[in-house]
Structure 1
Amino acid sequence: MRKGIYTTFIALLVLAGCGTIYYRDLKPGSFSGKLFVMWVGEGNSSGDGKFVFVPAPGNELTFTRPSGSHTAGVIKPGVMYTDGGSIPKIAQMFKGLSPWGYAPAYMIHDWLFVARHCLVDQAPDARFQDLSDVDFDESARIVGEAIHALIDERKVARNDLAGEAVTSAVSSGIARRLWDEKGACERSQISKEHLAEINAVFPDISTSAKLRTFRLPPDMPQVPPRRQARIISVVEF
């Protein structure tokens, strides 16, 4: 999730409900598809490093919201930078608060932020058309629905405290300020060097799939990969 959201995570563990959305009131959605997470660099005090989320073309990670949802019924994230859950090291001792404990849910939430930042910066991208009506509160509901889905599908153990804390954090005032941040769209674009590394790891992905999920400029020059990136996690539904 966006850096800074979890700077108040310890307080949220004690005072769950500081945000505006309540995890216990949400219904589960459902996941399908497959995701890869690639390590591309060192991190800082939040998360475990710098990573790139890579959807599996033809079997993209897909989150379907519960019936009755009025916006973004189906969400398919594209390639993007991520640090999993930006959880300070001190908070990671608590059960359920690993940066990757709810990885698929974090990927959905990260994608909503990428879309929001590009929409705020008026940087049109067809990948975000179905997300233009998602507001801040809805983004928090979606991550809670996704955590419920992971529990229902037995991908993670039930932990209501962690689910409540995460949902509270992503609906907090800190998260809201990040949601409306300007100038963040350009920073979210994958570098040419990292795109080259992704291409080296996934040479069989078709050009049309790369243009859709990787957003490659048609005239992007070939950049020799540094061979630093490597797949560190695969999740399949």
Structure 2
Amino acid sequence: MRRLALIVLALAGLAGCAEVNFEDARPGEFEGAVSVYWLEQSTSASGSGGRFVYVPVPGFELRFIRPEGSVPAAIAPGVMYTDGGSIPRVAQAFRGFSPWSYGPVYIVHDWLFAARRCVEDPSATPEQLKTRDMAFQETVDIFVETLKTLERDRRIVARDFSQETVASAIAGPVSRNLWARTDACDEDRLSERDQAVVDRILQQQRRGLRTMRVPGQEQVIEGVRVRLVDTISF
């Protein structure tokens, strides 16, 4: 989501508010798959703009199983907007959204903040409500756990400058202030148009219909040009 790009830019050189502990963090397990789509604003040749949307794959929904003894024990992101494509190069995130990028890490982190903004909403889901009593420090711990998991599984290279920079940024004061917002669900809610597109994608997948499988492949759904950015499977 937008917060990650803003946080990295604003706080890369500042001290964080929460502790970033790479040495003691333990890896967990990723399950399922990550699929991200780009929804254009217009189907015309001159159309520009749009949004990235994370869409869980039916039957293969992404889950991050945290190290034993952690609370919550698992995190399962739901449909949401995510601005992974605008994250600075220093983070090397969503660079082609390949298995070597940090894509799944950002999806989990984005989801925690999106869910947190909905905990006061009457329609909050059980998965969103997991963040109600979660301390800000826990979001930093989870971020490092997901990084360590991809590193252990050799999905990303060993810890380097970009990981240190991003981890320090997401532990900073801007991120802490964003975490304090628990009544802003409408700001992140999918528009009716985008929700209709996502519903069609999910319907196609559940019915086993031919759908986008190759990164960069496009189709028009509900009058919207939709492109699959990539799918990462675990």
TM tier, smaller: 0.7 to 0.9
Measure the CA separation in 2 of the matches of 1:180 and 1:86.
Answer: 23
Amino acid at match of 2:19: I
Which SS does the other structure have where 1:40 is aligned? strand
1:176 is paired with a residue whose SS is helix
TM-score, normalised relative to structure 1: 0.76
Q: CA deviation at 1:159?
A: 2.8
What percent of counterpart residues are identical?
34
Counterpart residue number, 2:76: 76
Separation in 2 of the partners of 1:87 and 1:205? 29
Q: How does 1:79-228 map to 2 (within 5 A)?
A: 79-84=79-84, 87-88=87-88, 92=89, 94=90, 96-99=91-94, 100=97, 101-120=101-120, 124-181=124-181, 183-206=183-206, 225-228=222-225
Does residue 233 of the first structure (1) align with residue 234 of the second (2)?
no
Deviations 1:113-142 (A, max 9, x none): 011111155653333233333221101110
* TM-score when normalising by structure 2: 0.77
Give the total of aligned pairs: 206
CA contact (8 A) 2:119 2:182 kept: no
2: CA distance, partners of 1:178 / 1:81: 16
From 10, 16, 19, the counterpart of 1:18: 16
Q: Cα gap change, 1:204/1:41 in structure 2, threshold over 3 Å: closer, same or farther? A: closer
> What is the match of residue 52 of structure 2?
51
Quote the Cα distance in structure 1 between the aligned partners of 2:35 and 2:198: 11
Quickly say closer, same or farther: Cα 1:173–1:123, change in 2 above 3 A: farther
- CA gap of 1:49–1:158, structure 2 versus 1, over 3 A, is farther
Contact 2:80 2:189 in 1 (8 A): yes
1: distance between equivalents of 2:201 and 2:144? Answer: 32
2: distance between equivalents of 1:123 and 1:199?
18
Whole-Å Cα distance in 2 between the matches of residues 9 and 49 of structure 1?
A: 26
The letter of the residue matching 1:33 is: G
